[in-house]
Amino acid sequence: MEKLMIDGGKRLSGEITLHGAKNSVLPILSASVLVNGVSVIHNCPDLSDVRVTVNILRYLGARVKREGSTLTVDTTGICRSNILEEYMSELRSSIIFLGALAARTGNACLYLPGGCDIGLRPIDLHLKGLKSLGYFVYTQGSNVCASGEDIKGTKIVLPFPSVGATENIILASVFAKGTTTVINAAKEPEITDLINFLNKAGAKIKVDSTSVITVKGVKSLHSTEHTVISDRILATTLMSATASCRGDVLIDNAVINDIMPTLPVFEEMGCEITCNKSSIRIKADNRPHCVRFIETMAFPGFPTDCQAPVMASLCVADGMSAIKETVFENRFKHTEQLNLFGADITVKDRIAMINGVEKLYPACVKCTDLRGGAAVVIAALTADGVSYISDIKHIDRGYERIENQLASLGANVMRIKDEKK
């Protein structure tokens, strides 16, 4: 096992290009199952979640080749329609293979993973959506299955704009007879990216401004090529690190609209933000100001995935900040680790109160989950001295070689062997 050694207390400066969005490439790879041909997907980051998804595609019978950040996926040879426990327990978001596999093969069975680090992660909305389309959804031991040949378009109203449920319903309805309308659908940029990929392959999907997605069923999808959007959560993570450590960082290949919901928070912290066509510059010369209240919401609200990184920056702010986590029920596990650096965070129900301190002290901590891991990295970059971070497999799920990215901005970060693990 490995851990990070971070000698913090240094300003960040320089220029960095964002890699592709993890939460876009994963659903697009699942969607490639619907294509009876070759999907050439550019700007795919080399992340452990992507590697697991590629292994699933290969298990299903697809041929996948990586050349740099391009994945070429040939799904003509798909010969299986089940996904084993070893894959599903590694990557529970692979549940969106259910809709794609059921639509392609008429029957799909996936091992049903349990909850994860940040919550129970139920899939009731996914299954309800597939049932509304006419799939017979049932459990077989620890597997959840969906089968159906005569799938008809229908109207589906989501009580909550679930990202995964929206994606699963879209994939399950691409070949349905007639039109499917999804009301109160998720509007995250990654959904739009998935829809763009599918439409390039011949699907007929429209999104209107009132969160309604319309999927007009087609007979088949053909080979296509697509470039994945850049990772807005990586952008916000780098911005949080700059706000906390101070510095002057230019982030290239950014989609400003995707990052827009977080800009008021960085401005309230006192950062100087300059947006150009596809880059964003953040300058932070002083201790961040506290931010009175942040509430995580579905897009275009403040993203739940940015909650932990931004919280790390607020640990050294000049006053009391509050963050309310409304999306996941257990997404404050990183606060305990942040307090080991000398932060002063208290959590009651779904609100974290961050009483800013002058400085953080080096510590030995662990990653509790993907974004919680990013938070402790930011705290270690901010603390003057050497910190150690273990369980970095969580970070590797969503950030490509984070030590190289940070080192390119002047941070002193090394990946070393964790002899204790």
The closest of 53, 34, 164 to 108, measured between CA atoms, is: 34
Q: Return the amino acid letter for 125.
A: L
CB count within 10 Å of CB 33 equals 28
Which one of 32, 43, 93, 335 is in contact with ligand EPZ (CB under 6 A)? Answer: 93
Which one of 304, 313, 387, 405 is in contact with ligand EPZ (CB under 6 A)? Answer: 304
Can you tell me the distance from the alpha carbon of 319 to that of 356, in angstroms, rounded to the nearest whole number? 5
Catalytic residue among 116, 145, 245, 367: 116
Which one of 56, 108, 163, 317 is in contact with ligand EPZ (CB under 6 A)? Answer: 163
Q: Phi, psi (5° rounding) for residue 357?
A: -115, 160
Q: Does 165 bind ligand EPZ (CB under 6 A)?
A: yes
Segment contacting ligand EPZ (CB under 6 A): 54-62, 159-167, 241-249, 353-361? 159-167
**DSSP element (H, E) containing 205:** strand 204-207
Which one of 327, 354, 365, 406 is in contact with ligand EPZ (CB under 6 A)? Answer: 327
Chain-centre distance for alpha carbon 238: 15
Contact assessment for residue 370 and residue 397, using Cβ atoms and an 8 Å cutoff: yes
Segment contacting ligand EPZ (CB under 6 A): 62-70, 160-168, 242-250, 269-277? 160-168
Which one of 30, 75, 162, 387 is in contact with ligand EPZ (CB under 6 A)? Answer: 162
Q: Does 160 bind ligand EPZ (CB under 6 A)?
A: yes
Q: Which residue is nearest to ligand EPZ (CB)?
A: 164
Can you tell me the distance from the alpha carbon of 83 to that of 99, in angstroms, rounded to the nearest whole number? 13
Can you tell me the distance from the alpha carbon of 182 to that of 89, in angstroms, rounded to the nearest whole number? 29
Q: Does 300 bind ligand EPZ (CB under 6 A)?
A: no
Can you tell me the distance from the alpha carbon of 224 to that of 258, in angstroms, rounded to the nearest whole number? 25
Q: To 5 degrees, how large is the angle CA 162–CA 163–CA 169?
A: 85
Minimum CB distance to ligand EPZ, residue 324 (Å): 14
Contact assessment for residue 41 and residue 71, using Cβ atoms and an 8 Å cutoff: yes
Segment contacting ligand EPZ (CB under 6 A): 21-29, 32-40, 69-77, 272-280? 21-29
Structure tokens at 129: 């959506």
Can you tell me the distance from the alpha carbon of 100 to that of 96, in angstroms, rounded to the nearest whole number? 7
Segment contacting ligand EPZ (CB under 6 A): 162-170, 210-218, 243-251, 257-265? 162-170
Of residues 136 and 160, the one with the C-beta less far from ligand EPZ: 160
Q: Does 370 bind ligand EPZ (CB under 6 A)?
A: yes
Q: Does 124 bind ligand EPZ (CB under 6 A)?
A: yes
What residues from 402 to 421 belong to the interface with ligand EPZ (CB under 6 A)?
A: none
Q: Phi, psi (5° rounding) for residue 53?
A: -65, -40
Residues making up the chain, counted from first to last: 421
Contact assessment for residue 168 and residue 131, using Cβ atoms and an 8 Å cutoff: no
Q: Does 324 bind ligand EPZ (CB under 6 A)?
A: no
Which one of 121, 350, 393, 415 is in contact with ligand EPZ (CB under 6 A)? Answer: 121
What residues from 101 to 120 belong to the interface with ligand EPZ (CB under 6 A)?
A: 119
Segment contacting ligand EPZ (CB under 6 A): 141-149, 156-164, 285-293, 343-351? 156-164
Is 116 annotated as catalytic? yes
Minimum CB distance to ligand EPZ, residue 122 (Å): 4
Minimum CB distance to ligand EPZ, residue 296 (Å): 9
Of residues 10 and 92, the one with the C-beta less far from ligand EPZ: 92
Q: Does 15 bind ligand EPZ (CB under 6 A)?
A: no
Q: To 5 degrees, how large is the angle CA 279–CA 285–CA 287?
A: 115
Which one of 305, 325, 391, 403 is in contact with ligand EPZ (CB under 6 A)? Answer: 305
Q: Return the amino acid letter for 241.
A: A
Can you tell me the distance from the alpha carbon of 10 to that of 180, in angstroms, rounded to the nearest whole number? 53
- Is the bond preceding residue 113 a cis peptide, omega within 30 degrees? no
DSSP state of 47: -
Active-site residues, by number, are 116
- For ligand EPZ, the binding residues (CB under 6 A) are 22-23, 26, 93, 119, 121-126, 160, 162-165, 186, 188, 304-305, 327-328, 370-371, 398
